[in-house]
């Protein structure tokens, strides 16, 4: 496979290194073909170019990746996968658009968080004909938000740019759903039960499936509040938890993105520590439901004054790994229940991941790893990609074909294969968990749960 990466910074270099060493993306395809991937890296910084030339076995070009000349030297016309990963929106968007116009099969483009937030208003991916737009900052914030919003969940995934959430919860002994069929449970609108795991066996349930204590139930939903209502019915008998107190250290893009995600949760109380006074003013204007504190969270006195020892979550989201770790140490010593941190450097991320719990860090999220996982999930070499593998099967993403049998049909008119369940539909930048009356259209991006036995039939139906 011919892969071009524009950008040799932190994230671009990490992905190029993983690919060149055969540790990550498309490893199974490489094994099938018996050939190594051909990797080309483009960057305009001579220092970064020299560093990556010494580090990996790849063709490296020192040039502006948004120029036709540089892309021509990289043999873009024969490229299978194009990744634009610089820190410049303009370079990434222009290079990606050119690559797609020259016939690249799959183009993925990194953008700053504000551009991704604007997608519901104006979709730059559609405008520039780019397959996938993503923000590393928002991917990282998503990982952190999962821990906070769903501390009792076994796992959480987000689909459709975060508009649909899939999580797995365990049916508790006091659950209002125990002993009820899914038909009688009557989940909130735009929520669904996608799979049940019981005694080591998993299945995609029908409406007559009855819930039992200890079942691990995979649920999905459009609005986080409604999904949380369903999760609480299954776990605790519908008793809503008390407000969750969150303190974020750092008001940059990571901290801002996290606060913005959590603000939609009415039961979350958020404070941000930021030492830059100008940035504090900006955050106050943009985050109406978040308290912004002009202070340095690495200083013990500031944490004590704001009673950080009483919070449920302390999240270190600054640009400095050292400051993040130190702030978590301080917060943990004061009594914060759970500490989360962003770690930028690979060596630090491994160390914190291995021993962080000893000093109170329950999770360390790496932006480069969050980006790698996002890119990896789209690369199957098939007409679909796997979002998550489970015992019951897998959650997949795929597009409805122009000649698909289901195009123009209502959801409840479609004869879905046994062992499959429609999870979500993405159309024009809007993602929904469909109702029975919603119509499937050609070009819709579909998320579905499918057992291994049902997968082939489901894909035939959609394509």
Does residue 161 surpass a pLDDT of 90? no
Q: Which of 133-142, 218-227, 402-411 has the lowest mean pLDDT?
A: 218-227
What are 282-315's pLDDT values in tens digits?
A: 999 999 899 999 999 999 999 999 999 999 999 9
153: confidence class by pLDDT, cuts 50, 70, 90: low
249 and 348 share a domain? yes
339 and 427 share a domain? no
Read off the pLDDT of each residue in 259-272 and give the average, rounded to a whole number.
87
Last residue of a domain, one of 356, 372, 388: 372
In the chain, pLDDT over 70 holds for what percent of residues? 93
Q: Which of 17-21, 88-92, 402-406, 458-462 has the lowest mean pLDDT?
A: 17-21
110 and 177 share a domain? no
| Cα–Cα distance measured from residue 356 to residue 34, given in angstroms and rounded to the nearest whole number | 39
What are 53-95's pLDDT values in tens digits?
A: 999 989 999 999 999 999 999 999 999 999 999 999 999 999 9
* The predicted structure's pLDDT at residue 32: 45
* The predicted structure's pLDDT at residue 325: 93
What are 7-40's pLDDT values in tens digits?
A: 999 899 999 988 887 654 544 444 444 456 789 9
Last residue of a domain, one of 67, 100, 134: 134
Q: How many domains does the chain have?
A: 4
Does residue 265 surpass a pLDDT of 80? no
CATH number of 287's domain: 3.40.50.720
Query: Is there a contact between 269 and 312 (Cβ–Cβ < 8 Å)?
Result: no
226 and 290 share a domain? no
| Cα–Cα distance measured from residue 370 to residue 140, given in angstroms and rounded to the nearest whole number | 6
Last residue of a domain, one of 341, 372, 403: 372
Helix (H) or strand (E) holding 393: strand 393-399
Residue 447 CA, distance from chain mean position: 14
28 and 93 share a domain? yes
350 or 64, higher pLDDT: 64
* The predicted structure's pLDDT at residue 198: 92
223 and 306 share a domain? no
Tokens 């004054």 sit on residue = 305
What are 166-217's pLDDT values in tens digits?
A: 888 889 888 988 999 999 998 888 999 999 999 988 899 988 999 999 999 9
Under the phi-then-psi rule, with left for phi > 0, alpha for psi from -120 to 50, and beta for the rest, what region is 104? beta
Does residue 373 surpass a pLDDT of 50? yes
Whole-number average pLDDT of the chain: 89
Does residue 134 surpass a pLDDT of 90? yes
Strand partners, 21: none
Task: Tell me if residue 195 falls in helix, strand or coil.
Answer: strand
348 and 320 share a domain? yes
Longest dimension (CA), the chain: 66
| Cα–Cα distance measured from residue 349 to residue 462, given in angstroms and rounded to the nearest whole number | 41
230 and 117 share a domain? no
388 and 405 share a domain? yes
424 or 238, higher pLDDT: 424
252 and 222 share a domain? no
* The predicted structure's pLDDT at residue 35: 55
Concatenating the DSSP letter of every residue in 209-236 gives -B--TT-EEEEEESSHHHHHHHHHHHHH
* The predicted structure's pLDDT at residue 28: 42
* The predicted structure's pLDDT at residue 31: 41
Residue 15 CA, distance from chain mean position: 17
212 and 251 share a domain? no
Strand partners, 292: 272
Concatenating the DSSP letter of every residue in 319-340 gives S-HHHHHHHHHHHHHHT-SEEE
CB under 8 Å to 106, separation ≥6 — which residues? 80, 81, 82, 131, 132, 378, 379
| Cα–Cα distance measured from residue 364 to residue 344, given in angstroms and rounded to the nearest whole number | 10
Given CA atoms 179, 216, 379, 452 in this order, what sign does their dihedral have? negative
Does residue 159 surpass a pLDDT of 90? no
| Cα–Cα distance measured from residue 359 to residue 357, given in angstroms and rounded to the nearest whole number | 5
Give the tokens for residue 295. Answer: 């202070």
- Say what the pTM is: 0.78
CATH number of 403's domain: 3.30.70.1450
| Cα–Cα distance measured from residue 174 to residue 81, given in angstroms and rounded to the nearest whole number | 50
Given CA atoms 232, 236, 240, 243 in this order, what sign does their dihedral have? negative
Domain, as residue range, for 160: 140-236
362 and 341 share a domain? yes
């Amino acid at each position: 496979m011919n892969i071009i990466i524009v950008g040799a910074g932190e994230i671009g270099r990490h992905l190029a290194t993983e690919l060149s060493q055969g540790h990550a993306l498309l490893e199974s395809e490489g094994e099938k073909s018996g050939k190594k991937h051909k990797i080309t890296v483009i960057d305009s910084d001579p220092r970064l170019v020299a560093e990556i030339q010494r580090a990996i076995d790849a063709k490296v070009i020192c040039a502006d990746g948004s120029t036709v000349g540089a892309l021509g030297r990289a043999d873009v016309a024969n490229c299978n996968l194009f990744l634009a990963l610089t820190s410049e929106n303009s370079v990434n968007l222009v290079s990606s658009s050119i690559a797609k116009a020259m016939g690249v099969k799959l183009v993925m483009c990194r953008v700053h968080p504000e551009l991704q937030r604007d997608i519901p208003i104006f979709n730059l991916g559609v405008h520039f004909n780019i397959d996938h737009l993503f923000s590393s900052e928002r991917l990282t914030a998503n990982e952190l938000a999962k821990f906070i919003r769903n501390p009792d969940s076994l796992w959480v995934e987000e689909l459709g740019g975060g508009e649909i959430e899939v999580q797995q919860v365990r049916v508790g002994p006091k659950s209002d759903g125990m002993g009820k069929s899914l038909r009688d449970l009557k989940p909130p609108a735009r929520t669904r039960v996608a799979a049940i795991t019981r005694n080591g066996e998993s299945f995609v349930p029908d409406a007559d499936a009855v819930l039992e204590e200890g079942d691990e139930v995979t649920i999905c939903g459009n609005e986080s509040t409604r999904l949380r209502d369903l999760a609480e019915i299954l776990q605790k008998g519908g008793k809503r938890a008390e407000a969750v107190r969150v303190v974020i250290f750092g008001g940059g893009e990571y901290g801002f993105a996290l606060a913005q995600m959590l603000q939609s949760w009415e039961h979350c109380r958020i404070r941000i520590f930021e030492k830059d006074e100008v940035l504090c003013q900006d955050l106050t204007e943009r985050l109406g439901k978040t308290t912004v504190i002009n202070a340095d969270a690495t200083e013990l006195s500031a944490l004590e004054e704001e009673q950080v020892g009483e919070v449920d979550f302390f999240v270190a989201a600054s640009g400095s790994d050292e400051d993040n770790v130190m702030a978590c140490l301080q917060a943990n010593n004061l009594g914060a229940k759970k500490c989360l941190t962003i770690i930028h450097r690979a060596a630090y991320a491994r160390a914190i991941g291995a021993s962080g719990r000893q000093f109170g860090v329950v999770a360390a999220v790496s932006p480069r790893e969050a980006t790698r996982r996002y890119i990896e999930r789209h690369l199957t070499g098939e007409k679909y990609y796997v979002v998550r593998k489970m015992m019951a099967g897998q959650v997949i993403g795929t597009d409805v074909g122009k000649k698909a049998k289901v195009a123009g049909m209502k959801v409840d008119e479609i004869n879905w294969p046994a062992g499959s369940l429609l999870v979500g539909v993405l159309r024009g930048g809007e993602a929904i968990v469909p109702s029975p009356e919603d119509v499937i259209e050609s070009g819709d991006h579909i998320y579905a749960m499918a057992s291994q036995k049902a997968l082939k039939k489901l894909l035939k139906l959609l394509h």
